[in-house]
Amino acid sequence: MRDHDEAEQSGGSRTAVDALKLARLRDTIRGMLPHNHFYATKLARIADPAGIASLAELSDWPFTFKEELVAAAADGVPGNLTWPREQYVRFHQTSGTHGRPLPVFDTAADWQWWMDCWRAILARGGVAAGDRVLVASSFGPYAGFWSGFDAAVAAGALAIPTGGLSTLARLEMMRTHAPTVLIATPSYALHLAEVAVDEKLETAAESVRLVIVAGEPGGSVPAVRRRIAAAWQADVLDHSGATEVGPWGVGDLRGPGLDVLEPWFHPEFLALETGGPAAAGELAELVLTTLGRVGAPVIRYRTGDVVRPTWPSAADVAAGACPWVRLDGGILGRTDDMLVIRGVNVFPGAIDDIVRSFPEVVEYRLIVSSDAALDTIALEIEDRLADPLRVARELQMRLGLRVDVTVVPIGSLPRFEGKGRRVIDRRG
């Protein structure tokens, strides 16, 4: 497999990107079949999977669902493995936010594939030898922060782990070691900055020039992104990935949005309204196929992420624009997270953008319930101005929904190191 630099150079046009992806897809299929029982069974009706002539032929192949992978796992061993268990060197698992946790194994070659993907992510932020990268994570079994840490090491940066430390201890470590890059969830990046102010530890943040956020859509939610940038006086780089898929998306320093790392992933987009291929700018579910992760592949994986794809024009690419597909606004929500309230479709990210546009609102929680068959929506906010009416007016104007907004004491709502869970749906 070609290295990152060659992959980037081959991305001079859509034709070159698609040719690279097709070659890597064929190599992946050849490497995993017939050894991978899961996909040998799923692709049995395809006459010659490794001989696929164009990416368009993938539309005739079956989808892969997370529920399938969970059901295929047995005794803690993933069901989509290509090789015997003894050949795998990395164990991780999904968070279980949307169902039972899924075990995921990687070979040494697969983990190098993760590093290749991350090299493109770090390059967007200019992370290199001489940087000091602090990873604000508990380092549980989830792959994202482990892969970011190892990628920082591979880039020649000083990688600083903080697993098991309290927020105050992390801030003290930052003050001592002056990291130039912080990796955290959007929620935790804001919480770290909040505690730094409360504890008069603002100097701990002075060295940080770049905040890489992942695990939540906040890095591409405009109001959240602005708050992180202001709190740290730093650039913000969004990133998206999944343990069972890999680190598939990267933003840039200019503003919200994600590019799919197409040298390592083939994306498809299913229109939410029709289920068919989505047009540019249409709301769609993201479907991903891994290119090069031979030991634990996923093919046409239904991520459940709702996105809005756009493709750069030939003129833009000729002028130097990235040829990869762009997701305007990043991940807009999830197909299983969309709230239908009094006939209005609402994604949690839209609420996040509105609430976070008020800099005095420290934290919030949204509660949806039913009263006599009528949906009710209530918002609790920690608000330094103690003025809920201005927030309620903005929600009604932008969402068309009346929301009962109340102020609760600062510090009373939950904080999150991992994925934030601020929406509680009690409608059963």
Q: Is this prediction's pTM over 0.85? A: no
Sign of CA dihedral 360, 365, 366, 371: negative
The C-alpha angle with vertex 348 and arms to 365 and 124, in degrees rounded to 5, equals 110
Q: What angle do CA 224, 306, 57 make, to 5 degrees?
A: 140
Amino acid type, 278: A
Fold of 1-335: Rossmann fold (3.40.50)
The domain locations on the chain are 1-335, 339-425
Q: Whose CA is closest to 405, among 345, 354, 338, 334?
A: 354
Q: Which CATH number fits domain 339-425: 3.90.1170.50, 3.90.550.10, 3.50.50.60, 3.30.300.30?
A: 3.30.300.30
Tens of pLDDT along the chain (428 residues) come to 334 444 444 457 899 999 999 999 999 999 999 999 999 999 999 999 999 999 999 999 999 999 999 999 998 999 999 999 999 999 999 876 556 789 999 999 999 999 999 999 999 999 999 999 999 988 888 888 899 999 999 999 999 999 989 999 999 999 999 999 999 999 899 999 999 999 999 898 999 999 999 988 889 989 999 999 999 999 999 999 999 999 999 999 998 999 999 999 999 999 988 999 999 999 999 999 999 999 999 999 999 999 999 999 988 888 888 999 999 999 988 877 777 776 677 777 788 889 988 989 999 999 888 776 677 889 999 999 999 999 999 988 888 888 899 999 999 998 877 667 788 888 76
